[in-house]
């Protein structure tokens, strides 16, 4: 019965994405692959008969995963949620911490529309988050692609810088954040926070090198 329920849910999810959200037919293969990946993962790790064990509430974890999506929307300068069905669906997966599946859906988005900078940016975030924030080559490629498509958008620079900083590449991260700050609108509500982060990074780099903060 468990496998029957899983199969029914997977089929319903595919129908919802393909027909209700009207995903392009060319991306159906990617959607199916993402759903099959989830089923395979359940087959390998799912233990429905195993009793529950006490653990911390996942509220904080869910808040962190939602924050990744919210931060992308804020830095991209849009007051409206995305209308692209691929990004809407991938954001839903990312908000629930399902970053690998979100990246797979976004692969369909950029295959369908290679000039979709928002999809490339969201893919970079999903790939980096799936790697615990580390700058994987695939994530770096996605961020670079987003930045090339929208060179005036500070969001790809900020998130790539965050991933590089997580990977210990502080000087490179500092350059990207400084460039993002230059591109940031003067009235952007997140500009002050970015300036604070850049200052903290400068002090950290100076502390490591024993010199004065960078200017």
DSSP 57-82: -SHHHHHHHHHHHHHHHHHTT-SS--
Q: Which residues contact 98 (CB under 8 A, 6 or more apart)?
A: 38
pLDDT (0 to 100) of residue 207: 83
pLDDT (0 to 100) of residue 106: 92
Report the CATH fold assignment for 8-19+60-209.
1.25.40
pLDDT (0 to 100) of residue 49: 52
pLDDT (0 to 100) of residue 39: 56
pLDDT (0 to 100) of residue 170: 92
Domain ranges of the chain: 8-19+60-209
pLDDT (0 to 100) of residue 53: 41
**Grouped pLDDT means (10 residues each) for the chain, 215 residues:** 51 54 56 57 51 42 66 70 77 90 92 92 94 92 95 93 91 94 89 90 82 49
| CA–CA dist 39, 21 (Å, integer) | 21
């Amino acid at each position: 019965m468990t496998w029957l329920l899983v199969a029914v849910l997977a089929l319903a999810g595919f129908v919802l994405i393909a027909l209700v959200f009207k995903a392009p037919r060319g991306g159906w293969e990617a959607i199916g692959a993402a759903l099959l990946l989830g089923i395979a993962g359940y087959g390998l790790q799912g233990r429905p008969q195993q009793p529950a064990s006490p653990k911390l509430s996942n509220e904080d974890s869910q808040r962190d995963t939602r924050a990744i999506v919210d931060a992308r929307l804020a830095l991209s300068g849009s007051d409206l949620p995305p209308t692209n069905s691929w990004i809407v669906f991938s954001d839903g997966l990312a908000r629930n911490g399902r970053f690998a599946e979100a990246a797979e859906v976004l692969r369909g988005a950029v295959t369908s529309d290679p000039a979709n900078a928002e999809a490339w940016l969201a893919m970079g975030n999903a790939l980096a988050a799936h790697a615990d924030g580390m700058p994987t080559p695939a994530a770096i490629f996605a961020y670079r692609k987003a930045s090339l498509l929208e060179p005036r958008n500070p969001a790809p620079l900020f998130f790539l810088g965050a991933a590089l900083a997580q990977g210990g590449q502080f000087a490179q991260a500092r350059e990207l954040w400084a460039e993002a700050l230059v591109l940031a609108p003067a009235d952007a509500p997140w500009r002050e926070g970015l300036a604070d982060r850049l200052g903290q990074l400068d002090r950290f780099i100076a502390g490591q090198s024993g010199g004065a903060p960078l200017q």
